[in-house]
Structure 1
Amino acid sequence: MIGEHIRALREANDILLRQLAAKLDMDQAMLSKMERGERSFRKEDINALAKIFKQPKKELLTIWLADKILKIVESEKYAKEALTLAVNNT
């Protein structure tokens, strides 16, 4: 989810993968894996990306956090019920 969003932002801003990787001080292969959802972005990466793309930090962090939560519960049988319970108790 967050990887697809970052890729869309990168492409919309005509930034090459290698250019964005350099701005984030990371390996191009690592960023590629992050965009494909094979590796996770760190919170620090999301903060940096919000600045680079001039996006609201809250929006990107919300997508990032939702992605983390979904990856944790995706294979659980009662994931939907558990998420509903958690939301209703916050």
Structure 2
Amino acid sequence: MKNIGQTLRELRELKGLLLREVGAALSIDPTLLSKIERNDRMPTKEQVIALSEFYQDKKNEVIIAWLSDKLVYEIQDEDLALAAMKVAEQKIEYLKTHKAQ
């Protein structure tokens, strides 16, 4: 399972780009991008949006990796984390179906 850092590094390397090239294109410090790719720092929502737009063909992959990392980081040490995630999934489905009506 890949985290956001691994996902971003793989996408960058597949395109044959350097950190400084991605940083220059997005106005993000390459040092910060390096920390994100090494999982020393979690990207902000704004950074994730910019990165997902940059890697347009893998946009959903970037966003899903980020969201899943946020969830795991927040509840990983909880005994009932998996049960809570299942309930959260049901709540999201419920809200989606009732919001559309």
TM-score by length of 1: 0.84
Q: Which amino acid aligns with 2:7?
A: H
> Equivalents in 2 of 1:58, 1:13: separation in Å?
17
Contact 1:4 1:35 in 2 (8 A): yes
Matches within 5 A, 1:1-90: 1-90=3-92
Give the Cα–Cα distance (whole angstroms) in 2 for the partners of residues 53 and 22 of structure 1. Answer: 14
Flag structure 1 segments of 5+ consecutive residues without an equivalent: none
Q: Which amino acid aligns with 1:69?
A: L
User: Which structure is higher in helix share?
Assistant: 2
CA RMSD of aligned residues (A): 1.6
Identity over the aligned pairs, expressed in percent?
36
User: How many residues are treated as equivalent by the alignment?
Assistant: 90
Rounded to whole Å, the distance in 2 between the matches of 1:56 and 1:7 is 13
Deviation at 1:3, TM superposition (A): 1.2
- What's the CA shift for 1:56? 4.9
Normalised TM-score (structure 2) = 0.76
Which structure 2 segments of 5+ residues have no match?
Answer: 93-101
Q: Is the CA contact (8 Å cut-off) linking 1:43 and 1:61 kept in structure 2?
A: no
Larger Rg: 2
Residue type of the partner of 2:40?
A: E
